[in-house]
Structure 1
């Protein structure tokens, strides 16, 4: 027997009895009246259906001991300085205020989370906790004369050298290209985040020639060190789980270059100038007629993701981060296909308006259904799930429109924007398994040409 939408919805994490109870009222509203309604209570029930649970994770065994060690490092930094600065110790009130804020931020970052995080999400979050604690310590130590900007810059150069050493030594090893691709993309993102922390401290610093300036530099150094520690741990734990790893480096590099070229060629088939509206108009749509419709938001939002994927693919190729480039190509192609699907749907008269809460509900159920179907596809589970993490966030963004204080209850703009987000998620999720097969199939073909 085939599963109904309600069956699928009930199977998703985050959807309980209370959420399902809201479906009945919306169903009744749809069947009892043809009069369009955007009843605020009915829209809230759409939001309360819940969002799919797709926590970010990596297919490598992250050790609890590593997470506790990282958490301990943040506590050590914070415990080495007092809770408050006294006016006698630091007469400058502005510095004391910055320190108080930094100490509070670090304390909050170390508080137990009220959400169910994956070990990988915890690892990522501890980068912020360590950086926030370092901001407090750096500000305090500089204010009392124990630390200088030159000291911290020496540390920064040491961490930067470690980042570059890690990058030079990178090889793409594994026994399963699907798993290896997701692991190394996570590792590359952590390393890139480490470098970005150091770069941003120089480019976007809030303070100059002051104790808080030393604090924000130490924040950048500690955040970078935490990211690099995470990259080492994920890679090393992954490799320790493989008895006889294969070197995929040449295949990753050649496939990233090949698929990067394919995605660039496909992007070139659309207008390059005058922004995303030109892309929509190029499909034969009258932009004035589409204005203030879910259709326009759907088409534009979908192509925004094409551009994001292309940007990641280009940057990955430029910096020899080949796993990042491959995931970027996956994103670009997924959403390009989703855009074409959306074009067809809009030309058939769909998404002309958010005419009722029931229509918004159906769009959300369509997204949840598509996400669950893609998650259940077992052909390339790691890459597919990695892509679905980003797509699932669109459902949460759709829900967010109903919480946004900018909109009044029942505001049709909130319903329209939410519907467009849900529809974007549905089209992208439906295309994801096929694009995973395309990427990994191309990688398998390239391996045949590089001695494997």
Structure 2
């Protein structure tokens, strides 16, 4: 790292930064492209189906949702959809775009409701019910916006009420828990529901349906409010049910805050190394070139493309996530620890990929069998994270398990291209890498709590 900073200082001397940038652009234009002459690969032998399933999303809240509660959420969806004519014909509603949105959202609500079965982990079930209520309220809110007798503002609670309920619920978190790790996993997702609703959904003068001229936007606004109300109800229920299950509860807010700050300090130090001295936008991306002293590969090599994609994901979240870098102090410690641990795992993963690039690794599959082997390694690593006894590790697994969907879908498509196969292969390599680094981060947090 000293070498990198010294190079930047040398370039800065005498105004050489501008010259270096111009030279870099010229060199990039003449640089050979990996995909101009890629290695050969037997595409027909690349597997499209796999024996090893993606691990199930782990349970974070160690209590079940009672049948009466699931029935109440399902009943709310049914009651929301009740006013809609079925079938909704062009004679009843001539506007095709509005009619299409109502039909699409009604169908999506019913599908989400069917998927919200008792086998889902409690947090996932709560998210499915919130999604179903969002779709249903969007459909009926759109309908109310185009009928004479309809009143979109009567479909769901008003924005101010829901905003206040979310704020009140957030003030009670994090509550007591079995231990700090359990508190982070249980309360972190619930805090985030409310925090995001306050910062993104229920903000500004246009947050509610009132005064909107476009019935499509009116319906979507009603759906947003209903979704947050569903989260308020589910979060309160899970909070109370979890607390009631504890034999020896302990307060966890301060331990969570301290550990988030420790990880945040590590991230801040790494960001300053990547940006160099004097930056005032430490949360902005430094570009993938900052991760290595020399890049012996073409810019479009699969490994370099993977680094760029993972870098974008990392900094897109870092811009808004409550990661305590520098003087920033997050308001909600459970969310702060979970999101900071996620960022730390990603940065460790980025460094690991950059190291392989410096070693000249293109991450192009050596043969067709290598693709299946990479997926198996990714599944094994993700399963280890999801099955960990460490609740924070299990929470981190919930963030990485969805990454299997895109590469599995690409390989399952008819006749994927060589490039699509290579991208799937690198994504499996990333999953293996970042889940391994996530285990290291989770173990360090557990050790800090035990010390």
Q: What TM-score results when the alignment is normalised by the length of structure 2?
A: 0.77
Give the conservation status (yes or no) of the 8 Å contact 1:90–1:144.
no
Q: Name the CA distance, whole Å, in 2 between partners of 1:442 and 1:302.
A: 28
* Residue in structure 1 matched with residue 43 of structure 2 by the alignment: 40
1:400 aligns with 2:409: yes
Instruction: Please list the CA deviations of residues 40-96 of structure 1 after superposition, one character each: whole Å capped at 9, or x if unmatched.
Output: 332234x43444223253223131422221111101111233224577766666544
Partner SS state of residue 145, structure 1: coil
Aligned to 1:261: 265
Aligned pair 1:103/2:112, yes or no? no
Structure-2 change in CA distance of 1:201 and 1:291 (3 Å): farther
Deviations 1:192-213 (A, max 9, x none): 35444434993699x9415444
What corresponds to 2:213 in structure 1?
Answer: 209
Question: How many residues get paired?
Answer: 402
Distance 1:327 1:211 in 2: 38
More helix by share: 1
Displacement, 1:116? 6.8
Matches of 2:248 and 2:117, distance apart in 1: 40
Helix, strand or coil at the partner of 2:307: helix
1:111 & 1:367 partners in 2: Cα distance?
30
Aligned mates of 1:331, 1:155 — CA distance in 2: 34
2:302 paired with 1:294: yes
Other structure's SS at 1:48 match: coil
Deviations 1:338-385, CA, capped at 9 Å, x for gaps: 23333333344433533421222232222223234444554x2x1112
Measured after TM superposition, the shift of residue 156 of structure 1 is: 1.4
Structure 2 CA distance for partners of 1:363 and 1:280, relative to 1, 3 Å: farther
Indicate the residue corresponding to 1:448 in structure 2: none
Q: Does 2:338 align with 1:327?
A: yes
- Structure 1 unaligned regions, length at least 5: 1-35, 446-452
Structure 2: tracts of 5 or more residues without a match: 1-38
Distance apart, 1:144 and its partner CA: 3.4
Residue of structure 2 equivalent to 1:218: 222
Shift of 1:335: 2.2
Distance 1:201 1:398, change over 3 A: farther
Q: Is the 8 A contact 1:174 1:242 kept in 2?
A: yes
Give the Cα separation in 1 of the matches to 2:75 and 2:416. 47
Task: State yes or no: 1:360 paired with 2:371.
Answer: yes
From 369, 379, 387, the counterpart of 2:380: 369
Structure 1-normalised TM-score? 0.77
Q: Who is 1:236 aligned against? A: 240
User: In terms of mean alpha carbon deviation, does 313-322 or 181-190 score higher?
Assistant: 313-322
Q: Is 1:280 matched with 2:286?
A: no
Q: Which residue of 2 aligns with 1:18?
A: none
Describe the shift of the 1:214–1:427 C-alpha distance in structure 2 as closer, same or farther (beyond 3 A): closer
- 2:90 and 2:410 map into 1 onto residues whose CA distance is 45
CA contact (8 A) 1:271 1:279 kept: no
Residue 166 (structure 1) shift: 1.5
- Cα–Cα, structure 1 residues 204 and 411, in superposed 2: closer, same or farther, change >3 Å? farther
**Counterpart-to-counterpart distance in 2, 1:324 and 1:222:** 23
RMSD value over aligned CA atoms?
Answer: 3.5
Distance 1:201 1:56, change over 3 A: farther
Matched residue of 1:174: which SS?
A: coil
State how far apart, in whole Å, the 2-side matches of 1:107 and 1:176 are. 38
Pair 371,153 (structure 1): closer, same or farther in 2 beyond 3 Å: closer
CA distance in 1, matches of 2:104, 2:331: 39
Deviation at 1:225, TM superposition (A): 0.5
Q: Secondary structure at the match of 1:402?
A: helix
Q: Secondary structure at the match of 2:411?
A: coil
Alignment CA distance shift 1:154-1:115 (3 Å): closer
